Structure 1
């Protein structure tokens, strides 16, 4: 029920009426939002924030937002001096963060991205508007979409939309997802049609989205999407100017009824004819370096025509969209380079008569990107075969490059020096600290060679890496914990060796920690999980064994890459 309207002596809206007005405005936001007063206490909150925080409005209103919500990744209270949000609040400036944490009412921790914007709440000092979202959760099924706005947006609604744009677009590094979020931010709130044209890295124009709000559903019109003609250099037409980053423009159907001066003008006339748009606003999407495309908002059934004030708001939105899309493109470009580099660097396995061998590499599925995980196997000068598994610290292109340096140096040392694995690792450790950029790495170097009576002998040295797992033909699984020393890059010194005979038909598994590490669980739990599933799969052919092991053991929330090398000794026939 709405609060009754009354005023204070100075004519301002009384607190209860003002709070009701604020709450009504916040409900139009498609993310969590609340407003705090000059003391940092919550005075209005929307239903989406209640759902995300697992707290009712009664639990939130009147509470100090920092004391109630702000914590670290482990759910511990965050000191005020370390809180970026609180510092921005007291400085009275706009700020945002892509990774932070709020405490939920059920005791769990909510990863969030957020934007804080100063806002005059009517007090002696300025309050602030906070908009936040939980990228991992996404939009809840059935969650209401913002409705069309009839008339100009209020100051709070405008600030909220811009804050929501920043929060939602900067919390993803996927271009397609960013475009989808951009559409949901503006349709049907500002228009019933949205059109996104992007300039590709080959300087081609591609119409990525033509979206119409039909009731509560967004419909993508694929028949209107696709490649576009080139950008004309001199055309004064609105879309052409926007794609050259020249200007934003208000547009009507008559704009494109004159004789077209370019192929893009023809496509725009077809667009207006097909959609029935009577009023449109077009603005460039650009980064600090280049124009990335253009956003067209169109009104056919939406009330009112676009005004210059709407155009200014659209420009603010596209500036934020440009920053987010540029970051996403850079991220995906670096990821592609890193994956390509790593796939080319990871070697083909040698054929060793009498042994079966298989390898797998799974890149990180999310933002941590490709890392420094690697495997290797190669013949040695004395006829034995070297096996290696390792992990260079880091999750980026530098880690992949460091992996290549370590692997190539290891190959050279192992081939040229017929010595136990420990001596090779010692030599490698000395070298990487002086002639590479690698700070730390873990690794197992092993050599395998045929022993008497058709059996195989394994010798190894472990530099801080998870232990190899040996599974017998009958399903007995044990970790080879001997030969374990400190990781590379910390301290040079003598390293241990270990030796074992592989039982006939046994399977040896070398792996990186991405296979066993799981958020909220100990490393021992991960090792037990690997042991249990490896034992159950011991009877499978080696390729099936490896694939099933990865499928069963790798945690679903894993954000790390995984390298795995599996080797099977022959069954001795009597």
Structure 2
């Protein structure tokens, strides 16, 4: 394989980080190449190079139709006559058994059967092309055999689909749903997935079959199972221990049953009327993650040894995908827990209703440096802060904690206006922290003698706070602007003050809420303003959650911190 790009996707359907095109194509035992939306070859496997008599360097970057596709006389033909093109454009798989020809590197024609499988790799819309020489003795006819099993090319196509579909999601639930859609009803009438969690507990996650073209779950058969017995020789217990795959039938689970798992299997066969089942362990890199059971009830043919080998190939791929997804979710949970631990509890202040939210970045490695803070000062004012330390890693999270602690120390000990406090923080950032650069809005809010709330603030390169009156009138607080922290220039900073109307809502937020590669920051600010105005009549908690739901960009790859206040009067 001459081309080896690493996937860098997320849980919305792109390639899993660390998985390469080489990894994917290397598992396929027939000729295969990957094309992009323009039909240009992205990668080819070693078997594809051998069959086509062309090195990867001759194929990658070339238009596959122009380079390879020929008619029976060896002539090129218009793209509009290509049988692959409609499936490319519709994004659907297609199996072609009629005569087709590819041109080899020496100019000779190679008669082939082919299958195409849409798949997403990284940010691309790509399609996998599998081809088998028609004069190859290993290539079987295009129609299913008499016993209803899949032919060789169909098996390879299914395994390719399993690989591309399962390695392009970081969600366990999504991976399992895709697995079901791939095996039902193609291989079986029923599919059962049993999973083992990190505590060794077994859960019957899925019992499903296709009913009138719709995937239907049998919830009454799903749920917790008894522990796996180390001594049981029943097929499912052996699979859950990773001992062996098995073809089984109802009579195996009749008579004396040695474990609770065997009892559940007996109930499964009785309820579903399965007459034949193939059971294979789902193995991760280190542990057995569960087992897949495929059962046949409506179709008369029993599972064969070839079917069981195919199911084992499927579960091997499923195990790696589930391992990746579980690792991702564990990393994400640890990162999110650490970030939330570093963020403060909000103080209780009479006359002020406060709430805050933190949303981690979609990528588990993006811990982020977004933060908020609110704390009482000695002069009965309340300090408010929102900031963003540059970077998306553990260093950014640690830097966020450093900046917040420095700000708290200066704000508490130095009875100075916000601008002077931030000037001190700016100098400290270079001298006593590891923070490269950061943005910050810092202000104080206090109740005046006339019963009105006054906000005094300064802004170090951060998006401006948004004020929404209870009547829905909005404006951005654009004063007090200055350079971000960490530049080393230490410019003088300005303060701005404003009286906040009773019942108004003040919103401080980080740029992940308004930035998107699909629109400008001005568009993001306008969207935030309009949605905030429409929601301001809701209670503050509802206002905040709905605002995040409506405004957060769908393609956002940054974390978000948000601090919201609603102002009243002290009794």
Same fold at TM > 0.5: yes
CA shift, 1:194, in A, is 1.1
CA shift, 1:294, in A, is 0.6
Contact (CA 8 Å) 1:194, 1:295: kept in 2 or not?
yes
Determine which of 158, 161, 175 is the counterpart of 2:172: 175
- Alignment of 1:333 with 2:333, yes or no, is no
TM-score normalised by length of structure 1? 0.70
- Alignment of 1:247 with 2:244, yes or no, is yes
CA shift, 1:411, in A, is 2.0
CA distance in 1: counterparts of 2:471 and 2:248, whole angstroms? 75
Distance 1:267 1:478, change over 3 A: closer
Distance 1:499 1:206, change over 3 A: same
Secondary structure in 2 aligned to 1:510?
A: strand
Contact (CA 8 Å) 1:98, 1:170: kept in 2 or not?
no
CA distance in 2: counterparts of 1:149 and 1:415, whole angstroms? 82
- Alignment of 1:496 with 2:496, yes or no, is no
For residues 47-196 of structure 1, the aligned pairs below 5 Å read: 49-52=88-91, 98-102=121-125, 119-121=131-133, 151-196=148-193
Secondary structure in 1 aligned to 2:293?
A: strand
Match of 2:224 in 1: 227
Determine which of 248, 271, 275 is the counterpart of 1:274: 271
CA shift, 1:291, in A, is 0.9
Secondary structure in 2 aligned to 1:312?
A: helix
Match of 1:517 in 2: 515
Match of 1:127 in 2: none
Match of 2:412 in 1: 415
Distance 1:379 1:312, change over 3 A: same
CA distance in 2: counterparts of 1:358 and 1:490, whole angstroms? 32
| RMSD between superposed Cα atoms in Å | 4.1
Match of 1:360 in 2: 356
1:165-199 C-alpha deviation (Å, 9 max, x unpaired) = 12211222222221111111111111111111100
Match of 1:202 in 2: 199
Secondary structure in 1 aligned to 2:91?
A: helix
CA shift, 1:380, in A, is 2.3
1:14-69 C-alpha deviation (Å, 9 max, x unpaired) = xxxxxxxxxxx9xxxxxx9x99776451455386532239xxx9xxx9999xxxxx
Contact (CA 8 Å) 2:162, 2:317: kept in 1 or not?
yes
Contact (CA 8 Å) 2:455, 2:498: kept in 1 or not?
yes
Tell me the matched-pair count: 472
- Alignment of 1:389 with 2:386, yes or no, is yes
CA distance in 1: counterparts of 2:220 and 2:570, whole angstroms? 64
1:202-253 C-alpha deviation (Å, 9 max, x unpaired) = 1111111111233423221122221112111133322222111122222233
Match of 2:526 in 1: 528
Secondary structure in 2 aligned to 1:185?
A: helix
Match of 1:138 in 2: none
Contact (CA 8 Å) 2:443, 2:455: kept in 1 or not?
yes
Secondary structure in 2 aligned to 1:261?
A: coil
Match of 1:259 in 2: 256
Match of 2:11 in 1: none
Secondary structure in 2 aligned to 1:212?
A: strand
The answer for unaligned runs of 5 or more in structure 2 is: 1-29, 31-36, 42-51, 70-82, 104-118, 137-143
Secondary structure in 1 aligned to 2:231?
A: coil
Distance 1:276 1:566, change over 3 A: closer
Distance 1:192 1:482, change over 3 A: same
Determine which of 543, 562, 565 is the counterpart of 2:563: 565
CA distance in 1: counterparts of 2:158 and 2:433, whole angstroms? 48
1:445-496 C-alpha deviation (Å, 9 max, x unpaired) = 2123455655544333323211122346766543233333343455463352
CA shift, 1:404, in A, is 3.8
